[in-house]
Structure 1
């Protein structure tokens, strides 16, 4: 009975009616009645299938719908499609049994006319139905506008993200309805992921990723999988009911957990694009298998743009605050750097042991390898760290220094990794840590042996995963930092005593550099003493006439347990006591105790005493260093086909003089007859 009735179709401004009725006589009478009353008739259909076909071609303003039609489907089966499309419909039925009326009310029609009907009944029902529908649309638009305003206000509020998102969840409960809502946001700086699990009428359990895994009885080892790039399920808008949701759950383990453990049976997903890719995803889950309709998706789609604009503003303000805080800390840090008195312009010395370290620095500085600076206190480890940074590709970025021994154990984690506002008592604002401050540059961790064991594990994770997590933070933050560390402790002994993690030790000792003590480089004493003398004289406004012979002799005979730092102090003391007219002389004998009424410290040798040998474990580290250097030179010789000199030779690849390389090869036991095969220049 598919009849479009196009010949009698009135002007487009007339209300257009689709008649779905399986009795032709009744359908035709309705058609004539409507045309006479000034309505337009789009067509007649006697089954749900024919009605769907007409609906695909035209959009009626209202549908007159019989309940029992030809075929297996009834008018009740067509009602959800009409509701989704926003088309009002009025039932025409001779059946008014309680069960039918209950089913009718569930579909929310605009009216109900009992057969047999009078003409006036039909026309009145049409007028009332149209009015109710128009009024309901107006009410819905007002409600959506109110919802949009409250959503933007909630997201723009200056409160922590969990509180913002909880307000968002509460606002969505009435128009959408859910048993669980998962909100996820991720970009290069931030990661937010919260699940709001409904436990009462207006009560929700707020779960971060770890709490969600605990709720679903999943191991914490699944955390990387939960935080990984979301599957296609989350990348496109859609509503998934019953079997459709079950099929998606089979393809993704975490959806399967949600389906089985939390007994969810349907889902509604809306990704919100911020920039080139959808980064903010709302995922609603319900235990009802038919909870979500196209109208829910349409509502979220209409709200997506204002929500996206609000989110972009909120995130932009947070990014500005983050960059401002970083700039403030960088400026503060640079000001402290300017104030420091240990900022030497160069490393002074020409002794062979120091030149060997220079060569090693030139090799490792251009890489991003972790360097472990070893040596006694006062040997200039910070100065060599600065040299490593200045010779690297990161020289234009910050070198951030952290003295692990100078910070209380309770504050080291916050100092290194930062914290969020409210992470602990006294955390009144968000603070970025030294690793974030050094982004793109170098971080120098001095006195690494003083780091508490629990922090050693976190530092190991940073070195392995290249990411940090602020105290009280919502997720990992990728970091690009080169790590330099230093210690005057014997880390092998610390490992044996259980005070230092073995795995962290091997992670740090990628390239160990042992700095020579001052007693190992006596020939550098005059140059160093003159440098410190000139600098102290400038600072104190004195003349500097050099050093006396007696002073140089006594300095050479002294063991310098405090190394360069002690030398600097001794020279400054001599400048203070000098009259500026004569070469410097020592203010006291170096064998004289610094403390009244007591013997000289055990570490200070008397004048003329032989230098103490380095500790046995330090020799082991030096041996490891020599083996590393030997392997490195051999690998370069392989690349140069055994050539030392000439274009493409090992000396050129290592940026060394051929004579220097040959000297080092001889010291390391590398046979020249093998490695120098081939033409030489």
Structure 2
């Protein structure tokens, strides 16, 4: 410390020097910033305080201290209005390293004496190291605060980035973004507004309100009016902070801002969600307090929005990939249906007049787009007829889509028929196209239409009349061009009378009814069908079966066939399984589940079934003798084996030999 020149002071003043030094040093150590350093001069005794104003000037800022006559004082950052001469002012540099200046000013128009100047210089020399130390500590503290704040910002960014980038589902991502922003910043209103992928001129908003102490209120809606700030943010790709008091007119005309105003929120921050050159939407943050949107918070929120934009782009890519996968799956389904439908009318095997008449009607109706109602007992081949109609129609190059109304639960049938939008119900994570959309341009075959629930019948009627659908959970009308073919084994007219089926839907379906005759009414078709199924099953099971015994065909033709063609196919499949040679070994079951004896068995058959299976039983021994001789000649005298006479006659080898001996049939008569 520079030695103080006591010679220029009067003796009473010199005696106070020790007290002055002690008081000043104690006061300096109590100050904690550049402005408060001026308070160190307040406790000096009156002989050392002939001044009323003290100014402390730094290159970047200045502070002004004023002492009033009543003993009060204040420090401000704006200069006082004053008119003082140079003789009433004293300025001293605090040091080259500080680049600061301390000024002492008298407002009583008095001048500073030599003693005052010496005192000021002495005080400055005492004050300079204290101020340097204070500024050094302050700079270090600011650096620590800056590092700590930067570390906190990085931690927030890392936490939010890890949280949002882990989501591929858009709804889950939006919920997590809202929760994280509210957690770290306390912002009560978080909204994400994204362009609707299905309608690019519309925007969908997901809004979360954390202002309530209970569960946050979540809302999803389509913007019906255009938002000025939304479009401006998307166009400029710059964040925009708005306050209600700055432009109340804008808040009245913008639907997003008006909604916030109605909820008593007057501060909104629009952040563009930009990733690369793509900006699908904005992040809208709002809070009643203006202080939450400080410059530092806004900068950090912009970094967060950049991360959220990446997550939104990832979620959009995942959704597109999922939709493409679903589309490919549906296209594969369509191709399979078309491939199966390519069998066409050639798959109908018949030679009866009843089926010929039916095919004539099919040829007539196939060329039109009229709705067809196929009726017939179970197993008569209604689906085959539907495929024939489609293959003969002008829609043959488009898909034939089939759905069995009885095989799908009523709760899922509406979604299968008309499709559903994403989020329509729990578990609807993707948009699903219904069978009507898949069949667009082609044919939709509704099997078992009599089992369609009553609550879905009006919606089906609307599709038939208006040719348009609405997906479940959606509000968009989708036009469809579909030819309808329905089938049932039930009496729909009786169901209408019993109020189990809507009469208006029945009349709309019954434009061109087709009745498929049961198999028992066209027995001449059975041999052809039996041969077709035998070859089909034998090829599939890698068997070689090229003979169907005459007796087997006779039994098939006289059977009642309650299950029609489907039952015949199942019987042939069972026979192929049981056959060990190249001649079909047939087994039949009655509807009472009584097993009939296989061909060649000696077990007697009695009752009505005996009369049905053996209508040509010989009335006497002579007729039986002639029949056995005829069969033996046809088999070249072979008795046993799959091609032998015993098999043809439905007897065991020993039984046939016994009857030949009893009837006196010799080899000469046979050959």
Tell me the TM-score normalised to structure 2 length: 0.49
The TM-score with structure 1 as length reference comes to: 0.49
Query: Which of structures 1 and 2 has the bigger CA Rg?
Result: 2
